[in-house]
Homo-oligomer: A and B are copies of this chain.
Amino acid sequence: MGVASNNDKKIQMRLSCPMPKLDFDVITLGHGSGGLLTHRLLNSGVFDLLKNDWLDEHHDGAMLKLEGQTAFTSDSFVVSPIFFPGGNIGELAVNGTVNDLAMCGAIPQFLSLSFIIEEGLPMQEFWDILVAIKFACEQAGVQVVTGDTKVVERGKGDKIFINTTGIGRLHPRANIHTSRIKAGDKIIVSGELATHGMAIMSVREGLEFETTIESDTRNVNHIVQALLDEFGPAIHLLRDPTRGGVATVLAEIAQDTQLGVELSQQHIPVDEQVGSACEILGLDPLYVANEGIFIAIVEGEVAEEVVEKMRLMAHCEQACVIGEVVEGHPGQVVLISGIGGKRVVSMLVGEQLPRIC
């Protein structure tokens, strides 16, 4: 299965990138000084690991040759714990920004990578995060071309925060915009909901299941590119339902377009174990953060064809239409249960799962 082979590839990469022998075990304030210790840290193998022509310049900025419409997006990652089943903050930071670019209809190209490290972070943990970053960059086909490293005193941060900011070139067939959504459009989800959020929560709450719930963090840009290649402007909007979940994303869209959204509860795909974890913790999967899935709002006529195409791709085997855009109840998302009951779904209120990404 796709997921297993991905894990195998990760393990391969970890084995092929052992941490070099260093004369320090933990990150100290001096490593963020911009002076000799910063140089030593970066030259200890960090630059080598992420090696490319731009990083080799060792300049504060990278010079890029860009053409035409360019997508630009930024996210800071503060997930806790920084290591979780299925991944760590490093790959999450790459995948998150890569996927945001893909959601703009862009082909991800370049990333900046900025660390805020809490003094005392074990160098081995930093190294493992860097290897995960390298893995995720290779999977997505992007390069880290510039960055920054700051260190704050113990108790003034939380192990490590990562900002990634990304640049990508617009796919020539993309025409993604909220204004293109119209009644009759279908809402497709690329895979099962709530997996990332429940992987994090299960660790935090100490929940135990037969098998561990693993985060689905991954890049979706190649999938999106294949869909844009084939369906182009029939794809009206792409969104990754991270914080606030599918409910919040769809509520935003309903509000922005002043159209209605109808969701069919029985079609919303949730892994059985993830569903159980949600029940135990009293959480609605519609509001839980996702990382490895996306929502596509597409022309009604092509929806089934898009879904068929997606189901042939790794990590999209559970893709399906979960609802449609309607003229009725403008500005509102309505969930229709298996027996026809209706309830209004609004944006996430308060904070259900802090620091999920």
Binding site for B on A (CB under 8 A): 28-30, 32-39, 58-78, 80, 100-101, 103-104, 106, 110, 112-116, 145-148, 150-153, 155-158, 161, 163, 165-167, 170, 178, 239-240, 242-244, 248, 252, 256, 287, 289, 346-352, 354-355
A352 proximity list for chain B (CB < 8 A): 33, 35
Pairwise interchain contact B148-A74, C-beta atoms closer than 8 A: yes
Can you list 18 contacts pairing A with B, beta carbon distance less than 8 Å?
A: A28-B351, A33-B348, A35-B248, A37-B351, A39-B252, A39-B347, A62-B71, A62-B72, A66-B66, A66-B70, A72-B110, A76-B114, A76-B116, A78-B150, A78-B152, A116-B161, A152-B354, A163-B165
The distance in angstroms between the C-alpha atoms of A350 and B153, with both chains bound, is 14
Which of A69, A76, A350 counts the most B-chain CB atoms under 10 A from its CB? A76
**Copy count, this protein chain:** 2
A39 proximity list for chain B (CB < 8 A): 252, 347
Output the least CB separation between A46 and chain B (Å).
15
The distance in angstroms between the C-alpha atoms of A59 and B70, with both chains bound, is 14
A62 proximity list for chain B (CB < 8 A): 71-73
Output the least CB separation between A82 and chain B (Å).
12
The distance in angstroms between the C-alpha atoms of A101 and B243, with both chains bound, is 32
Q: Which of B37, B80, B239 contacts A349 (CB 8 A)?
A: B37
Query: Which residue on B lies nearest to A149, using beta carbons?
Result: B76
Known A-B contacts A65-B68, A70-B66; A350 and B116 likewise in contact (beta carbons under 8 Å): no
Known A-B contacts A34-B243, A34-B248, A242-B34; A63 and B59 likewise in contact (beta carbons under 8 Å): no
A156 proximity list for chain B (CB < 8 A): 80, 157-158
| 6 nearest A-B pairs in the assembled complex, by CB-CB distance | A34-B243, A35-B348, A61-B73, A74-B112, A165-B165, A34-B244
Output the least CB separation between A53 and chain B (Å).
13
A37 proximity list for chain B (CB < 8 A): 349-351
The distance in angstroms between the C-alpha atoms of A74 and B114, with both chains bound, is 7
A287 proximity list for chain B (CB < 8 A): 35
Output the least CB separation between A52 and chain B (Å).
13
